[in-house]
């Protein structure tokens, strides 16, 4: 059982947003103003909760997060914004706080308005049932095509006390850098300034949630919020440890999103090393990770290295194909751009039978490197997305 940070309460219920009676409405609430930060989608098409959340986050203070699944409230125009505002105002009245202090988040079908009446009549029940023990229920209420809830916790211990960090996330499809079809809420009871928390969150997101891809699509609703309830003073001696644990929470959540990728059977860590700059390595790694031909080869457990080099060749960055080495785990199959033979490919094929493996691509230019987490592309991915609305 998760032992969440002090000062946070949780609840979730079925408000009838989804067709099935699954949990689809969740609330995270603090008993006093928390420090907050946020990072949002880079997609030009932004959902109503992203528009409202990006404005609210500027104050650096919040009382909670209202999240729903089943409806993205995206591409719904001014009416969608009004729906979200009405919802937040009603919730704020029930909580006896300002509507500006509630951060919104939605995920689900694009182009449909929230079933406002269904949700509004459930607000009192949502508030009345708040409890420290229901963090797992909120994680469930965020799920769309996810197959399991994603909750991760870490503790920072120091002389005289401890600080807790808990992260919740959802995501399985439409996952690509920069930000994905994902929601993530990182909570801590540490006492933090808003400017510091925003800087930390942005830095960590760039290393975690922006280093994953399932299918190369970036959504309209991507949101990561961080809230600090300011219950525990952060001992300066463990400041660095706190940042490490904060990073670990986001790293594990990002990994779980890739693991739960729609129809995925493999988790693949793609490392590009030996470049002049990290940016160049990142571009190459992302291009390979998003290649449909490469991803289907992962599914088929086929070490088809020609597809990997071909993807690199269209990445838009310059490199020498005659200086490329490739490994699957510890099995090298390409040296200086040429095959090492069928025997090495047979060994690589055995590596690819694992549920997780690493593809390492080495150039011989410099010392920079970058890593992207991805997965394979299976028959089930097509089935899930072909029938998503119907």
Active site residues: 181
Instruction: Report the distance separating Cα 297 and Cα 185, nearest Å.
Output: 34
List all residues 6 or more positions away from 140 whose beta carbon is below 8 Å from its beta carbon: 12, 22, 23, 149
Query: What is the side-by-side strand order in the sheet with 368-375?
Result: 338-339, 331-335, 325-328, 356-362, 267-275, 368-375
Q: In the block, which residue shows the tokens 């693991």?
A: 259
Other beta carbons within 10 angstroms of residue 126's beta carbon come to 22
List all residues 6 or more positions away from 236 whose beta carbon is below 8 Å from its beta carbon: none
Residues 235, 238, 241, 242, Cα dihedral to 10°: 0
Give the pairing type, strands 267-275 and 8-13: unpaired
**What is the SS3 assignment for 303?**
coil
Which tokens belong to 294? 């490469």
Across 19-57, b (16+ Cβ under 10 Å) vs e yields eeeebbbbbbbbeebbbbbbbbbebeebbbbbbbbbebb
Q: In the block, which residue shows the tokens 């020498």?
A: 320
Give the pairing type, strands 325-328 and 25-40: unpaired
């Amino acid at each position: 059982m998760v032992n969440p940070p002090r000062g946070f309460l949780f609840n979730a219920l079925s408000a009838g947003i989804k067709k099935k009676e699954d949990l689809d409405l969740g609330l995270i609430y603090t008993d006093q103003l928390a420090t907050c930060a946020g990072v949002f989608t880079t997609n030009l098409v932004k959902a109503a909760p992203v528009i409202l959340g990006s404005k609210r986050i500027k104050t650096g203070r919040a009382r909670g997060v209202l999240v729903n699944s089943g409806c993205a409230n995206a591409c719904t125009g001014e009416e969608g914004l009004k729906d979200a505002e009405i919802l937040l105002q009603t919730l704020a009245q029930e909580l006896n706080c300002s509507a500006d202090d509630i951060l919104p988040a939605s995920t689900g079908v694009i182009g449909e308005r929230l079933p406002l009446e269904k949700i509004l009549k459930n607000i009192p029940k949502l508030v009345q049932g708040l409890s420290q023990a229901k963090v797992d229920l909120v994680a469930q209420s965020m799920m769309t095509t996810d197959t399991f809830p994603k909750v991760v916790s870490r503790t920072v211990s120091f002389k005289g006390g401890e600080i807790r960090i808990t992260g919740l996330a959802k995501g399985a499809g439409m996952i690509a850098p920069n930000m994905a079809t994902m929601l993530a809420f990182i909570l801590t009871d540490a006492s933090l300034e808003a400017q510091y928390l925003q800087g930390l969150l942005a830095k960590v997101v760039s290393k975690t949630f922006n280093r994953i891809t399932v299918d190369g699509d970036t959504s309209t609703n991507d949101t990561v919020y961080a809230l600090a309830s300011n219950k525990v003073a952060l001992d300066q001696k463990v400041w660095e440890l706190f940042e490490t644990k904060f990073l670990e929470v986001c790293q594990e959540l990002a990994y779980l999103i890739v693991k739960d990728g729609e129809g995925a059977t493999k988790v693949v860590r793609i490392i590009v090393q030996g470049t002049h700059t990290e940016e160049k390595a990142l571009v190459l790694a992302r291009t390979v990770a998003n290649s449909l031909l490469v991803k289907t080869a992962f599914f088929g457990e086929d070490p088809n290295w020609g597809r990997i080099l071909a993807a690199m060749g269209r990445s838009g960055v310059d490199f020498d194909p005659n200086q490329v080495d490739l490994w699957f785990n510890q099995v090298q199959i390409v040296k200086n751009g040429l095959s090492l033979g069928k025997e090495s490919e047979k060994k690589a094929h055995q590596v690819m039978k694992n549920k997780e493996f690493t593809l390492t691509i080495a150039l011989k230019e410099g010392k920079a490197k970058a890593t992207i987490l991805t997965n394979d592309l299976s028959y089930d991915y097509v089935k899930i997305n072909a029938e998503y609305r119907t």
